[in-house]
Structure 1
Amino acid sequence: MEISRRNFIKASGGLAAFGMIGTGSLNRWIRPAAAEGAEEEKIAYTFHPPNCGGRCSMKCTVRKGKLVKIEPNEWPDGHHKKVCLRGLSEVERVYSPDRLKTPLKRVGERGEGKFVAISWDEALTTIADKLTEIKGKYGGKSILWSNSSGVQYPMSTLAALIGAQEHGALDFGIDMSQAGGQSIVMGPFNITNTNEITDWVNSNLVLLVGNNLLETSLTDAAFFFDAKEKGTKMVCIDPVFSTTAAKCDQWIPLRPGTDSALYLGMIHLVLNNQWYDQEYVRSYTSAPFLIREDNQRILRDEGNNYLVWDKNSDSPRPVDAPGILPELEGEFTVNGVKVKTVLTAFTEHIRQYTPAWAAKVTEIPEEVITDLTREYALGGPASIQWGLGGPDKWYHSDTTGRLATILAGLTGNIGRVGGGVGQGTQHVTCWSWVTAMGSWDLPPEFAPAPAEVPFSDIPTASTSIKAFFFQGNMLHQMIPDYNTSLKWADSLEFIAVVDNQHCDSVNYADIVLPACSSFESEYDIAYLINERNHILLQQKVIEPLFESKSDFQIEKELAQKLGLDQYLPETPEDYVRALLNSPDPALQGITVEALKANQCIMRLNVPDQPYVAYLDRVFGTESTKLEFYNELFLEDHCAFPVWEEPNEASPANPLYQKYPLMLGSPHARFRAHSTFSNARWLLQINNEPLVRINPIDAQARGIQNKEFVEVFNDRGSFQCRCQIVNDMRPGMVQLSEGWWSRYFQKGDLQEVTNPNKNPRGKKLLYGPIVAFLDTLVEVKKVEG
């Protein structure tokens, strides 16, 4: 049954403020509802865990035991006092008809969605018995334990206790830095961004590359406009004239998947015009290191020290020897071996990638590339900020992240106020102000089994896995080529899922456990996070609805069935206190009691200015320098980054003749991946999946606006309505990711996505990249 807003209010006695949606009719409807039934009212504070990265702190009004209103909480730093339409819509979604109300047991075929309700005791006993049986037969590594990235409380402790293979949120090739491209240059500790988004006000130029911040990171929008008001030039580089592009000072549309070519052309200009920061490059990068001509490896001495050519002594010396002046360019002979500096070799390597070449590949005018490079390199502090679900979801994305980081290093924009490079969404930096949180430790004999293969490879690899226990919409959202994933799932002996809503992955489980929403708990204190330089505490807002239990309680009760509960915290508050039990000065004075007294939010004891990483210019590589050349990739023929056409979505691919449209699947402000796919208030605004298509491509296929179309390739297909738009290039179509299958007329977006993995991805920090966007399709009208 559909629940209208009016009927929901009658049932719940109230409603959340919904101001960010911005319609007058909603405001007129909200005001009288919010004023009703003020008796028996209480206020509680929580934070929002779904995978948008915003982590808003919320002030929640409860009347007669029902959540009726959500407002932004007061932050010590008022810049963060925000909440978006997704958070506000939780007032409806908490009470959604899609809520899983009771434990379920499958009675039909996997995928049919046929279940019967069972008791918690039967559900937990069944899971415990099956896991014990499978572990006894095949060992702990036969159990796959995982959670989607939006899960608030992963059951990682229990995974370690039973020795399962565990795959967390970072195992899915989340973005270029996490997948390894950035870390190849900077070292493995940098996984997000070097400069906090609040530092954009100190930049002269910010390049937003495939980054639709104003659509997907709404609560950070103010920092974008703060920078603009301070005079920062904002440039959007994106095939689509996105919401963010519309507010930038310049929009540069490029052919999808050619970001690396743009960076190569820019680096060519920087090196050939000597627009790089010579002193920075000499001191903090591998540019003066020496490459051997005989084996292409970096020259070292007998003590394994990197050698440079010292200008003062006209001889090779260890890079850290006192009083030396390394040559940046030149060719030399050391003990009969010819060598040249990394910078000299890089300049030679980059000659082929001229601005004219880059213009041809990217379809950006050459003068635009030249002007952009000059402004970036010579115009003062500048920042490169890529998005999630954009340039990071291509087969060769490691090269893209690597090149962007090298460009930032050449111009001295890493470890610089107003500079920066990395993921420019979700208010993340590589460290934020470093805070050593406490932990809940297990005896050393307990540990997860080593992962046999990256998570996205599991459906097609030979593994030991016989059972799958997961939290969230894992099967549907995290693996491309959906049909192959479902065949793998059907081959397993046992699947159990924990979720709050009846999403697609639930239909393939043998046992389903209903989880609380993030507003419900059996305990007064539910959880804690360190976000945006603040500690946020989560209180219980309302009692668990229906027969649901919190993730913490589910882990605890399942551990009891397995005889392992003695190793877990007794309550979430015990776990929270363990996290706060740290000698780190940043946490001094931050206790559970102090948090309660401060509306469940306190700023860390850290400086007020925006965080900037690597101000000491010491990096996490073996050499402690930014490494432009990497011997690890010699056998892959890319010790220096090289241009490679996209794996699938390229005109050079023979498959392009059959499937000539690149499929983009951007994030949308209405969902955080598949979370909120069923939020009925949001569905009244964004009520169905729409394939966006350029008028030229639509006309060529005889397609009219809002007609049903089929999008297909050799892997699968889906059907939904189309929307003809002028804001993106011909040759591509788009459908925002995260829609549940039930919203399509037929099929699913995930049926067509590219499962191919770059073999060199095994050398990257978090394994191969999942190339969701490197996908070709064709579109045709659905007759009748």
Structure 2
Amino acid sequence: MDQNSREVKTHCSYMDHGGCGIICTVENGRIVKVKGDPDGWLNQGYICPKGLASPHRLNHPGRLRHPLRRVGARGEGHWERISWDEALGEISERLDEIRRREGARAVAFGLGMPKGLDHFAQIRLANTFGSPNLVASQDVCHAPREITGVHTCGFYPVVDFKEPSELVVLWASGVSTTNEEGAICSQLYKQLEDGTRLMVIDPYRSRLAERAELWLPLRPGSDAALALGMINVIIAEKLFDAEFVDQHVHGFAELAAQAADYPPEKVAAITWLEPEQIRQAARLYATAKPAALAWGNPIEHTNQAFHAARGLVCLMALTGNLDVAGGNVQPLEPKIAGLGPYVRADLVPDKRKEMLSAAHGVIPRFMTIPPAFLRRAILEGEPYPVKALFSLGTNPLMVWADSRLTKRALESLEFFACAELFLTPSAALADVVLPAAASLEFDDIGHYGIGHGYILARPRVVAPPEECRPPLQICCDLGRRLAGEELWPVDYHALLDMVLEPSGIGWQEFMAMGHLEGPHKYRKCEAKGFRTPTGKVELRLSTAEKFGLPPLPAWEGFAEDTSEEFPLVLTGRKNKAALHSSYRWVEELKKHDPEPITELHPADAVRLGINDGDRVRLSTRQGSIEQVARLNQRVRPGVVFAEHGWWFPEEDDPLGGWERSNFNLLTSAAKLGKEFGTPNLAAIPCRVEKVE
């Protein structure tokens, strides 16, 4: 190695949920190379295209490098440079004025997907300000699985890729593409090499599906029905774990009666599968010991997210695959700060009653605000008006359902400020924009609060540009002005120390360790039962009537069905080189897929007169966009996969051409799942036409 070079070990982050150990080569203060760390605790050397390209965010010429104040109308693209003191002063003065006039709940705080401690620092900022309204993406990501698990079995059932399984089920889980929430695909590949069997449930025939013993290309959005069909077979054929059911399950008879209404023949018509495929899947999952079910984010993309998650937890319980090594487990956290004290939940004791969601009857313990409810509060004053928003690392114009509704809401705010790396379409509508430091430019802790039983050290590799501040530091700076110096430190490193304090180690020692893991304990239920009111896994929720929840998983039909005008089923799809709408300005990522792609089966394309590479118009009852057709045998016939998060920062448009190919111009927030306020981002009837 050149004597002017040095290597720094850290963990990848902000390009996904993170978790991969990486080694960065630094020359003259710049990262010139990134590679996977062979000693990486989760990835063992694996790295994805996003991780390889991550340094290219740091030195991009279009990156935000100083605070901006809007000049002229929102969205016109006219800005003036201001100092940090001016920016922080204006944000704090405007938010405080609204708090004094309307109350703290009239100010909302926003987040994108959880990436690091910034997520919890922003929650702390909202709580110390006094606002119960922290708006985030949990309505369509993580919470339906986590909170449903908590109500059903007392914990979030995490797939265990660390211990060997006889069978792994990938249910809507693109683990080789997204490495969701620390479930790194290299761990699964190692198991497959060692003989673990594989079942894939997904309308897209991935390369992992090709390796599977069984692939079920179900209709998007029919997950709850398939789960009930499999439960029907498992109970009818007495394939359930009788000992576990007898000792640890509540409501078996009620679930059996419910599942009797979902024989494979009925479910096959809903899911576009064959009855024998459903029977085969049920038998394979029920007889493999242990079996791990990796349930992916797409099951949370319809208003039936609660029923889908309930059905899958019931499957885990019926087969005795809960709380066992190689199944779905309850990881124990290491000795770290609890979430409640860390975010100062005590400062908003009436949050459950005061938050916007309270008026909509969401499920208890779901404590972030679905975007649909924020927009109603802004545009309709329901259940009370929200006048201001401060957001951190999120692009709602592109990622929330019904983008036109989002634009109206953002434009209607009395005050909107955000912190970003780049002037995104959403940031272009703000009053004040703060330039954030990127990951690899500040110290951080990963996986805190996600429920996986470990945290990861993310030491900084290089310094940020002079006026770019870490998101954690931005929260500290605003917190000291808005909530008081006694509640916020001067230096954000104190927020890292707060997490580590119960462990008895400091940041420097944690960096050297790399990760901190909780103890591995299985079958805890044998001694303590489950943390539910009955002490058992609740196939029938004992709290259903109290909380206004459906007591049993059910199939309630599609929010919209296909028709002669809209005969195909549309769903979204991620690729390895993209993270929602993030980093569309990074050429090294964009070169993998330079244009937004719509994938459809060749048989559908022939019928529609569409060739590979044609520009096509996708239309739903909500609107139309244009993308480029790619014919792909891996797509299930009758299904269309379109990429989401597309905007075009290279265009001479302050909003980055947000209307041309934006998937969320096709989605609606009119029908929401009651439990989580979840809109339909999948299973949408659509039409595809060649653009002449």
TM-score by length of 2: 0.87
Q: What SS class does the counterpart of residue 566 from structure 1 fall into?
A: coil
Deviation at residue 511 of structure 1 after TM alignment: 0.6
In 2, Cα distance between equivalents of 1:515 and 1:128: 17
CA distance in 2, matches of 1:510, 1:382: 51
CA distance in 2, matches of 1:528, 1:78: 13
Q: Among 542, 551, 555, which residue is 2:475 paired with?
A: 555
CA-to-aligned-CA distance 1:390-447 (integer Å, 9 cap, x gap)? 2221121211111121122122221223332xxxxxxxx6434454436657595567
1:712 aligns with 2:633: no
Does the 8 A contact of 2:290 with 2:325 survive in 1?
yes
Q: CA deviation at 1:642?
A: 2.3
The letter of the residue matching 2:326 is: G
Structure 1 equivalent of residue 653 of structure 2: none
1:503 equivalent in structure 2: 424
CA deviation map 1:540-562 (0-9, x unaligned): 32222152112233233334444
In the alignment, is the contact (CA less than 8 A) between 1:552 and 1:572 conserved in 2?
yes
Q: Which runs of 5+ in 2 are unaligned?
A: 358-368, 649-655
Q: What are the residue-to-residue correspondences of 1:184-195 with 2, within 5 Å?
A: 184-187=151-154, 190-191=155-156, 193-195=157-159
How far the C-alpha of 1:637 sits from its partner, in A, is: 9.4
The equivalent residue for 1:106 is 70
Spell out, residue by residue over 1:564-587, the C-alpha distance to the aligned partner (whole angstroms, 9 max, x if none). 2332123233222222211xxxx3
Give the direction of change, closer, same or farther, for the CA distance of 1:176–1:385 in structure 2 (3 Å limit): farther
Instruction: Give me the whole-angstrom Cα distance separating, in 2, the residues matched to 1:112 and 1:395.
Output: 36
Q: Please name the residue that 1:209 is paired with.
A: 171
Judged with a 3 Å threshold, the aligned counterparts in structure 2 of structure 1 residues 99 and 780 are, in CA distance, closer, same or farther, namely same
The yes-or-no answer on 1:413 pairing with 2:321 is: yes
Moved more, 41-50 or 390-399: 41-50
Q: 1: distance between equivalents of 2:540 and 2:47?
A: 43
- Aligned 8 A contact 2:38 2:45 in 1: yes
**What does the per-residue CA deviation read over 1:253-298, in whole Å, with 9 as the maximum and x for residues that have no partner?**
12222222222222222222222222211110114xxxxxxxxxxx
Match of 1:396 among 286, 290, 304: 304
- 3-state DSSP class of the match of 1:777? strand
The one of 519, 526, 539 equivalent to 1:606 is 519
For 1:496, give the aligned amino acid. Answer: A
Structure 1 residue 662 displacement after superposition: 1.7
Q: Secondary structure at the match of 2:109?
A: strand
1:624 counterpart residue number: 535
CA distance in 2, matches of 1:477, 1:172: 16
Q: Distance in 1 between matches of 2:549 and 2:447?
A: 42
Q: 1:728 to 1:48 in 2, by over 3 A?
A: same
Question: What are the superposed Cα offsets for residues 577-627 of structure 1, whole Å, 9 maximum, x if unpaired?
Answer: 222211xxxx36x4334235x2x51443735x9x77756572221101111
The Cα RMSD (Å) is: 2.9
CA contact (8 A) 2:173 2:295 kept: yes
What one-letter code is carried by the residue in structure 2 that aligns with 1:431?
P
Residue 779 to residue 441, structure 1, CA distance change in 2 (3 Å): closer
Question: 1:182, 1:398 within 8 Å by CA — same for their partners in 2?
Answer: no
Matches within 5 A, 1:368-407: 368-388=277-297, 390-407=298-315
- Tell me by how many angstroms 1:70 deviates: 2.2
The structure-2 alpha-carbon separation of the partners of 1:372 and 1:455, relative to structure 1 and needing over 3 Å to count, comes to: closer
| Structure 1 residues 451 and 97, CA gap change in structure 2 (3 angstroms) | farther
- In 2, are the aligned partners of 1:754 and 1:775 still within 8 Å (CA)? no
Alignment partner of 2:413 out of 484, 488, 492 = 492
Amino acid at match of 1:494: F
Counterpart residue number, 1:666:
573
Instruction: Kindly state the Cα deviation for residue 491 of structure 1 after the two structures are TM-superposed.
Output: 1.0
Partner of 1:118: 82
Is the alpha carbon distance of 1:76 and 1:352 closer, same or farther for their aligned partners in structure 2, counting shifts above 3 Å? closer
- Partner residue, 1:594: 509
Q: What CA distance in whole angstroms lies between the structure 1 residues aligned with 2:343 and 2:501?
A: 12
AA matched with 2:432 = I
Counterpart amino acid of 1:681? E
Q: Distance in 1 between matches of 2:204 and 2:32?
A: 38
Residue 145 (structure 2) aligns with: 178
Match of 1:460 in 2: 376
Whether 1:196 aligns to 2:160 is: yes
The CA distance in 1 between the partners of 2:350 and 2:63, in whole Å, is 31
Aligned to 1:685: 592
Post-superposition Cα deviations, 1:636-675, rounded to whole Å, max 9, x if no partner, equal 8943322222112x34xxxx33222221112221122222
CA distance in structure 2 between the aligned counterparts of 1:591 and 1:629, rounded to whole angstroms: 45
Q: Is the 8 A contact 1:257 1:394 kept in 2?
A: yes
Residue 361 of structure 2 corresponds to none
Match of residue 162 from structure 1: 129
2:419 is the counterpart of 1:512: no
Structure 1 residues 171, 374: closer, same or farther in 2, change over 3 A? Answer: closer
- Whether the 8 Å contact between 1:157 and 1:568 is mirrored in structure 2 is no
Alignment of 1:6-405 (within 5 A): 38-50=2-14, 52-73=16-37, 75=39, 77=41, 80-152=44-116, 153=118, 154-167=121-134, 169=136, 171-175=138-142, 177-178=144-145, 180-187=147-154, 190-191=155-156, 193-199=157-163, 201=164, 203-217=165-179, 220-287=184-251, 342-343=252-253, 345-388=254-297, 390-405=298-313
Percent identity of equivalent pairs: 25
Aligned counterpart in structure 1 of residue 553 of structure 2, from 635, 641, 655: 641
Q: Does 1:776 align with 2:685?
A: yes
Change (3 A) 1:404 1:112: same
Query: Is contact 1:416–1:615 with CA below 8 Å preserved after alignment?
Result: no
Q: Which amino acid counterpart does residue 384 of structure 1 have in structure 2? A: L
- TM-score normalised over the length of structure 1: 0.77
Measured in 2, the distance between the counterparts of 1:269 and 1:775 equals 29
1:437 equivalent among 311, 333, 337: 337
Q: Is the 8 A contact 1:208 1:386 kept in 2?
A: yes
Greater gyration radius: 1
In structure 2, how many angstroms separate the alpha carbons of the residues matched to 1:579 and 1:744? Answer: 39
Say whether the 8 Å CA contact 1:51–1:149 is kept in structure 2: no
Q: Which of 622, 645, 663 does residue 749 from structure 1 map onto?
A: 663
